[in-house]
Structure 1
């Protein structure tokens, strides 16, 4: 085993009852190549609709879904937002994108992840197969998405462990039949790096029939907000899209609460407010999982990246030991201090972690060496790193009534 770092995510600790590098995402899309401009299985970096035009991706039959996704993403995230794109043949299924090659063990998606050199913090899909594809729907949507969900989780886990570049994936509930009672309950699963979106900005049986979901709007909202913010945060205002549907029914006429209660992400409205919002950022895992929500996932993943950046500088570094063969406390304090300072500067100072207002020295992060380990014999440094998350006003209870003695 090569000298390196092993960062494990602890879980069960919470008791859960502005474009930046944090919002650099990847799009995986069914597409048709454009001669001399746009090739399949090739990574591209886009920063606006001008780049889309330069690739020859237009609003035609071949790349209709891809073009719509890109235009909606930049409308929500803003021109100048960095997005990585890889197109795949329309004969591919979504699960194919996440399937390991028998010979190399590498998935097609890794071509995009590797090209971005660890920058991508999330992947989104835009599936639009050719006319020969017939989805098999036995649990509310295309069965292939269930396969893709499992493979996407495995890839994310493995890539995080080997490349130290954590990410999550949002899939579409492709070919959703419109009946929420048919849907599997995602809250019984353990896919804390995968979410499933239901809903689109146009009717399924519109001018062009599409069976996917508009993950572009969710991606755009996340790309334009900080890691600790829920995509459903009302104070950030309504989404850019002016219409939203579940199959052919307007979102406001559909029981989106039932979708939410099964762990799906969708559109919603708020009484007295114009426009559409995201329901919440649920991932396909248990509700009490520390990483059940996208904002929890994004926050801990950012801390992971910062911690790795600091710790990787210590690989094969030599340091002093105590008379018992343990880590010298001065060295431990130096490394843990640099780790805490980096996270505090890049996260706490930006409002991405919580601090105790009663303690002026609280940084919202704590790194502690195991000073009892015999490093002389194991050559292993053990560090426990903890960060304090934000809380979220998911439910608000107000008791309203009359009282003539308000000043007493």
Structure 2
């Protein structure tokens, strides 16, 4: 036999890395106590940034528990789309009774030292309710008050598509989005049709959405066709209904209700997100996830630079009592630093920091900043006029 050299490439599953912290993500599921893998019974939150790490922690594709198999699928989809994600996975016992506070999200964010920027919450066997959205927004608001801002993407059970509530969106729900789409073929469909899924819980495409969100820059819409294909070949909804079988009028109603799901575009292969809605009012400045993420990044950055100034001295003009011009210039420069970096990165179109020198700091010890950010708009609609002409 002739001599030979055979080199076989192996996947070492070496975690990728991304700059900054915009990709840091959480993923939460609620399971019956008997289904929770042993590794999570005491340590409910664990950093798992590869599928190998997840499987080593007991989240296996062939687990006896249907819920664990669904979690494995969600994580596989998330890692597929964003191999460089920094992920915290949490499994908590499913609460008894109808009410749920979602207080466990604080536990996850605290474990991550406040670094999680977006968190997915899978409750595929729990019917969507306005009370749950209010509870999720309340937890997110509380975390924002503790300087640990994040966006929540919620995946509830979709009972019957045409009876989904269409009036849950409204003011003060800017930190919550709701996913009702899932895959209509492949592993997602197999799990939905699994004989152990007796209550027909929704599998959901939450892992896909979290993968897209964690890979997008803060100002980018995850419905951008050129940048964010889902990889879902046959879009469906959480009740098993295929996208192709849904009337256009119902799709428009679900979009207006501000749900997230997978859609197709004529002339484009694959599927994409319908939009990047939050459950806030459609006319709110924070009606889209990218608006919330951009502002959160600005707030975190400003805080990082301005907080060290607390407790320091400011100087006033002895003749007028107004803040000295050099003190105003210094504080404005400090607040500018984070925003300047965001503008260079293309995350803001512009910004302005202003401090009124006439503030009576000697009496109040308070310096008020006014900061205006100019967003990077998203082109959601295109109108093209075309026709014949005698000449051009």
TM-score normalised by the shorter chain: which range applies?
A: 0.7 to 0.9
Aligned residue for 1:154?
138
* Alignment equivalent of 1:43, drawn from 35, 42, 45: 45
1:209-358 aligned within 5 A: 209=197, 210-246=201-237, 247-254=239-246, 255=248, 256-323=251-318, 324-345=320-341, 347-354=342-349
**Which residue number corresponds to residue 9 of structure 2?**
none
Q: Which moved more, 1:206-215 or 1:327-336?
A: 206-215
CA contact (8 A) 1:19 1:225 kept: no
* Paired position in structure 2 for 1:207: 194
Distance in 1 (CA, whole Å) between partners of 2:388 and 2:235 is 40
Deviations 1:103-154 (A, max 9, x none): xxxx32211111111111111112256xxxxx5xxxxxx25x4222101111
Of the candidates 84, 90, 102, which is equivalent to residue 88 of structure 2?
A: 84
8 Å contact kept, 2:219–2:376: yes
* Aligned pairs, number: 355
Cα RMSD, aligned residues only: 2.1
Shift of 1:215: 1.4
1:110 is aligned to 2:86: no
Partners of 2:222 and 2:228 within 8 A in 1: no
Rounded to whole Å, the distance in 2 between the matches of 1:19 and 1:311 is 22
Please give the alpha-carbon distance, in whole angstroms, between the structure 1 residues aligned to 2:92 and 2:98: 9
With normalisation by structure 1, the TM-score equals 0.82
SS of 1:275 mapped into structure 2? strand
Which secondary structure does the structure 2 equivalent of 1:303 belong to? helix
Give, in whole Å, the separation in 2 of the partners of 1:95 and 1:217.
28
Contact 1:189 1:286 in 2 (8 A): yes
Aligned match of 1:53 in 34, 37, 55? Answer: 55
Q: Structure 1 residues 226 and 258 mapped into 2: Cα distance closer, same or farther (>3 Å)?
A: same
Equivalent position of 2:384 in the other structure: 398
Question: How far did 1:92 drift?
Answer: 5.2
Q: 1:211 to 1:92 in 2, by over 3 A?
A: farther
Equivalent residue, structure 2, for 1:377:
363
Q: Give the C-alpha shift of residue 42 in structure 1.
A: 2.1
TM-score of the two chains, using structure 2 as the length reference: 0.85
Task: Say whether the 8 Å CA contact 2:122–2:156 is kept in structure 1.
Answer: no
Structure 1 residues 94 and 81: alpha-carbon distance in aligned structure 2, compared to 1, 3 A threshold: farther
CA separation of 1:128 and 1:213: change in aligned 2, threshold 3 A: closer
* Gap change, CA 1:41 and 1:155, over 3 Å in 2: farther
1:194 to 171, 176, 180: 176
Match of 1:168 in 2: 151
Q: SS where residue 108 of structure 2 aligns? A: helix
Provide the secondary structure at the position in 2 that maps to 1:191.
Answer: coil
Distance 2:21 2:270 in 1: 28
Residue 41 of structure 1 deviates from its aligned partner by 5.8
Query: 1 CA distance for matches of 2:98 and 2:89?
Result: 15
Q: Which runs of 5+ in 1 are unaligned?
A: 1-17, 99-106, 130-134, 136-141, 355-363
